[in-house]
Structure 1
């Protein structure tokens, strides 16, 4: 018993350390334990495979065109919302309280890592750092990161990601996102970063000329630029970090451990939606501006 208690205390300390680093609150050994117990499911057994399950599911609500509020300010719409409905049609699971929990990306990823949420469907990038503290399904959308500048106020020398790595310019980023993690890993000085709780305020800061650039997911940025009236913003340079910015459903270790087939079921469903053209239809509906 003493040995088990010691192990539990050490695990808790590891969790707290990883929360501070923006990635969440577990460890890589838990990842190995969870994935090693997974079993596979065949496509013919997929329909209704999760009909007896109710999950706590979170999203962002701030990232058009994937998850954002309609004009009424209450209804969540977007690629991810339709994608989630398609998963429900196949698998039959319910959402706790029939309501998604919408929150900013930093608390969203922490909630999944802590097991307070079972899933997150929020154009969430499957980064290596996040994989240490949560599971991810197979990719359902290939994205990338981009540098955004203001045509009128940003220095012309900013032409892409290499231009801002040295810390010469003030760069805004949304807390807890793949962009935030990427810049931290690239050792961009903290005093050159302006961390925002939401991408909306980060982009507005650039619109107002208060920062020199923003780093963010390219698909959402393309949508913003194409739909924002009188915007002064533009994307510069090539998309980058594609291997760290592919969108997937995040699944807590706790949820995966309680059902050893869960990841296989979800991956098989993602594959079905890709193979039958559903994902392509969703891309055509929501993401034309990002192509």
Structure 2
């Protein structure tokens, strides 16, 4: 009996040691797995995140950036594709460690999650059909039919426009389809998304009009109280900007060097 008791105590001790080591590593990394950073995105927001032509790999500025951040942190990045309005709930339940998805930092979201330092400065712009000369600015959108992506700041701002008929869709790609089909009068998206669509598709049937409505900062979101992970992401982002890797990724996807706001 003594031998059995001693054996049980030894096994229990070993389990406690292993458990202790695991929890320390997890605590230090701010993640559920010390070697894996579980990231969620809505992969329909080119040029920030989208799926490759084969429908498997995730590409875009955000995807390259988070992989570079993970590498800097010594972690493997595992990416999950979710609907945009499901990103924050997945973060809050602990199913993922971080969100990178062209997500604007705002007061409403900061009540639910914590954000990294900004990694991109953006703003909202309008797209209309090329032959539309009635809409030249945001004030001309009153009473018009507007397509936006659900859960975005575009949707939030569009709903503030008097008498506007706002159509919320699952992806930015869907907003352009609605515009081309004539089902809406205008699309509101982030400026780089609108610009990339036009350049990527060589589509002269649409045009961007007016100035930016807002100035928005994109950030990487983590669980509200996960200060350790926020610090690690910020440290990695800072190093990428210092060693020039951030600039390389920026130029790869936007064709120019980052502006002063984005450096």
Q: TM-score range by the shorter chain?
A: 0.7 to 0.9
Q: Which has the larger radius of gyration?
A: 2
Aligned pair 1:249/2:220, yes or no?
yes
Quote how far apart the aligned CAs of 1:53 are. Answer: 4.4
Aligned pair 1:281/2:254, yes or no?
no
Quote how far apart the aligned CAs of 1:183 are. Answer: 2.6
Q: Distance in 2 between matches of 1:68 and 1:85?
A: 15
Structure 1: segments with no counterpart, 5+ residues: 1-47
Length, aligned pairs only = 229
2:91 and 2:97 in contact (8 A); partners too: yes
Normalization by structure 2: what TM-score?
0.79
Aligned residue for 1:146?
125
Aligned residue for 1:171?
146
Aligned residue for 2:47?
65
Q: Distance in 2 between matches of 1:59 and 1:157?
A: 36
1:49 and 1:92 in contact (8 A); partners too: no
Instruction: Kindly provide the CA deviation profile for residues 249-286 of structure 1, in whole angstroms up to 9, marking residues without a partner as x.
Output: 111226x1xxx422122112212212222221111100
The 3 A distance-change label for structure 1 pair 116 and 203 is same
1:59 and 1:100 in contact (8 A); partners too: yes
Quote how far apart the aligned CAs of 1:217 are. Answer: 0.6
Quote how far apart the aligned CAs of 1:157 are. Answer: 2.4
Aligned pair 1:182/2:157, yes or no?
yes
Aligned residue for 2:136?
159
The 3 A distance-change label for structure 1 pair 261 and 115 is same
Instruction: Kindly provide the CA deviation profile for residues 141-179 of structure 1, in whole angstroms up to 9, marking residues without a partner as x.
Output: 111110111113x4x221122222x3x100010000121
Q: Distance in 2 between matches of 1:284 and 1:195?
A: 31
Aligned pair 1:133/2:104, yes or no?
no
Normalization by structure 1: what TM-score?
0.72
Aligned residue for 1:271?
238
Quote how far apart the aligned CAs of 1:114 are. Answer: 4.0
Aligned pair 1:118/2:97, yes or no?
yes
Structure 2: segments with no counterpart, 5+ residues: 1-27
The secondary structure found in structure 2 opposite 1:284 is helix
Aligned pair 1:77/2:50, yes or no?
no
1:66 and 1:81 in contact (8 A); partners too: yes
Q: Distance in 2 between matches of 1:261 and 1:119?
A: 12
